[in-house]
Amino acid sequence: MIDKNLQKKYMINKQKLIKITALVVSLIVLSSVKITYGQDLSDSTRYQSYIRQSQDVSRFMKGTYFFGGDLSLNDLEGTNDFIVANIDLLDVDKVGLKFSFVGGYFISPKMSVGLRGTYKYGRNEQILEADFLNLAFNATTYKTQMLSTGFETHLFVRNYIPLGAKSNFIAFTETSLYFIKNNNYQRATRNPGKTDESISTILAISNGLGAGTSFGISYYNKKRFAFEFQMGTTGLEILWKDIEKDLVNEGRSTKVTFRNGLSLLNFQVGFSYYFNVR
């Protein structure tokens, strides 16, 4: 028979062992929670630090200003009204360029307002041949000439998005309200290179307003220069067009159009120089 004192002592030791085990388990759990919380807090702190660093990465500040320009191809404004179907093109001479000057002022480290002036020039000459032209123009060969010039003034707001804390690349969006002035002159002559007799002339003068947006990426180096790659403006335009055909005024038309700036012909490459930077 087991001694009652030994049994009592065994029960006391068993209770102590249970308490010690519970205490050890509690310490392990608390340590795990503390480590996990500390890691979460550390990760959160690092993330917040990265966000603050990204927010402060802008090399610009309120009062920074810049000047620059860009160049792109120019898709001719308007259509050739002398072209009809099923005509053989014997020769085509086409050129189109667009130059812009831009300047802006930062009202915050990531926002600027500015002005863009754009001049557009295009020329398209075509020599065409078809048998039925003899019925329409008393010639089987004729030449069309189209000359297009224009000017636009954009008032814009730019929003800048740094692409990383240490990156030199900065994305931006540009929202603008702009004014349009286009001149389009067309002339058709019969028997080019021989008689060059004038058949008809068309002069179209367009004025308008537009609103739209574009986006681009800027590469900024430490010498305050930035190389910019920007798509054309996409938005809505309202145009008032006055047409004169063979020196006779044919009146004015009003048209609302959608402007697609995502074409490669509207892709602009330029540079800017920044003053008063960090």
Fold that domain 60-275 belongs to in CATH: Porin (2.40.160)
Task: Kindly report, residue by residue over 237-262, the tens digit of the pLDDT.
Answer: 999 999 999 889 999 999 999 998 88
**Kindly report the CA angle at 13 between 10 and 14, in degrees rounded to 5?**
85
DSSP structural state of residue 276: S
Q: Predicted confidence band at 51 (pLDDT cuts at 50, 70, 90)? A: very low
Cβ pair 251, 220 in contact under 8 A: no
| Coil, strand or helix at 10 | helix
Task: Give CA–CA dist 269/252, Å, rounded.
Answer: 36
Task: Give CA–CA dist 145/82, Å, rounded.
Answer: 9
- Strand intervals (E) in 8-87: 65-73
Q: Which residue has the higher pLDDT, 10 or 215?
A: 215
Q: Is the pTM here over 0.85, yes or no? A: no
Q: What is the reported pLDDT for 165?
A: 73
Task: Give CA–CA dist 188/190, Å, rounded.
Answer: 7
- Provide the residue ranges of all domains of the chain, joining segments of one domain with +: 1-55, 60-275
Distances from the Cα of 77 to the Cαs of 94, 218, 219, in angstroms? 13, 28, 31
Task: Give CA–CA dist 32/39, Å, rounded.
Answer: 10
Has residue 96 got a pLDDT over 70? yes
Task: Kindly report, residue by residue over 157-197, the tens digit of the pLDDT.
Answer: 999 998 887 788 999 999 999 999 999 999 888 777 777 78
